[in-house]
């Protein structure tokens, strides 16, 4: 009977060891499942974060391209502005020269008018006095106006602008 009891006690110990081992394996298996579940959640969060980063990278690239486009457009507008400014400056010079020429012509006309009035008065007073008075010398004809537009056109490399 001692051998039966020994075998029952060794069987019970063996059963107890197996139960303890089974409980340990169950605990490890549950820990692995939790770990796999946590890993799956982490992978999902990581995938979502990666998608957000990729979306942001696309947005940044689109913004960069838009900025480059705006810079190019701004440079085009600046060049056009400078070109127009140069044309306006040239046109201003032409108009100033034309205005000066017209002022000179007007001054000459006023001078001639005054000289004619003076001559008429002298003739009228001579008629009244009954003496013959020689008319004063005629003023020199006005100098021909210089046409600077051809010169400016040659300097600027553009066809001459016509007066309005």
- Distance, CA of 52 to CA of 55 (rounded, Å): 5
pLDDT tens per residue across span 66-124: 999 999 999 999 999 999 999 999 999 999 999 999 999 999 999 999 999 999 998 88
Predicted pLDDT at 38 = 83
Distances (CA, A) of 27 to 10, 21, 31, 84: 25, 10, 6, 84
Upper half-sphere CA count for residue 155 (Cβ side, 13 Å): 12
Predicted pLDDT at 155 = 72
Provide DSSP, 69-124. Answer: HHHHHHHHHHHHHHHHHHHHHHHHHHHHHHHHHHHHHHHHHHHHHHHHHHHHHHHH
Q: What's the chain's average pLDDT?
A: 84
**pTM score of the predicted model:** 0.41
- Distance, CA of 102 to CA of 85 (rounded, Å): 25
Q: What is the DSSP letter of 147?
A: -
List the structure tokens of 15.
């059963």
Q: What is the mean pLDDT of residues 116-142?
A: 75
């Amino acid at each position: 009977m001692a051998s039966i009891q020994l075998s029952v006690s060794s069987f019970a110990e063996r059963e107890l060891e197996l139960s303890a081992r089974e409980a340990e394996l169950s605990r490890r298996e549950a820990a692995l499942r939790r770990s796999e579940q946590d890993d799956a959640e982490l992978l999902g969060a990581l995938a979502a974060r990666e998608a957000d980063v990729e979306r942001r990278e696309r947005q940044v690239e689109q913004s960069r391209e838009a900025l480059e486009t705006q810079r190019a457009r701004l440079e085009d507008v600046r060049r056009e502005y400078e070109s127009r400014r140069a044309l306006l400056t040239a046109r201003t010079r032409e108009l100033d020269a034309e205005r000066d020429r017209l002022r000179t012509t007007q001054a000459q006309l006023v001078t001639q008018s005054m000289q004619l009035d003076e001559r008429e008065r002298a003739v009228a007073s001579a008629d009244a006095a009954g003496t013959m008075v020689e008319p004063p010398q005629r003023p020199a004809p006005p100098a021909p106006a210089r046409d600077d537009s051809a010169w400016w056109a040659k300097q600027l490399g553009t066809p001459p602008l016509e007066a309005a």
